[in-house]
Amino acid sequence: MSKKDTEEQTQTTEEQMQEGNRLVEKQYIISGSQVQSILRYLFTRPYGEVVQGIEVLSRGLRELDPNIGADFVAKNSDGKK
């Protein structure tokens, strides 16, 4: 097997894993104060280590509709909604 074949096989495997992760991606509810607490911590770390995380928290989170409470969307402790 050539190096090129191995690289293509690795790339295909990585693409399959990413696709699989998208299908079963978990969703979380996080409060604004929790986001601010995490960001305060991340800002104390070296920029190169945390830049992606800061970007996700500052731009990637969607706001929950105020007419729908977080407790409505969250699972109960027994796993039922």
- Per-residue model confidence (pLDDT) at position 76: 58
Of the pLDDT bands very low, low, confident and very high (cuts 50, 70, 90), residue 81 is: very low
* Sign of the alpha-carbon dihedral angle for 38, 39, 45, 50: positive
Q: Which two tokens stand for residue 27?
A: 């969703």
- Per-residue model confidence (pLDDT) at position 40: 93
Structural domain for 50, as ranges: 3-73
Of 75, 67, 78, nearest to 29 (Cα)? 75
Residue 80 domain flag? no
Residue 79 domain flag? no
Distances (CA, A) of 18 to 12, 13, 14, 39, 67: 10, 9, 6, 26, 33
Residue 15 domain flag? yes
Report the domain count for the chain. Answer: 1
pLDDT tens for each residue of 4-57 = 555 555 556 666 666 655 677 787 888 889 989 999 999 999 999 999 998 888
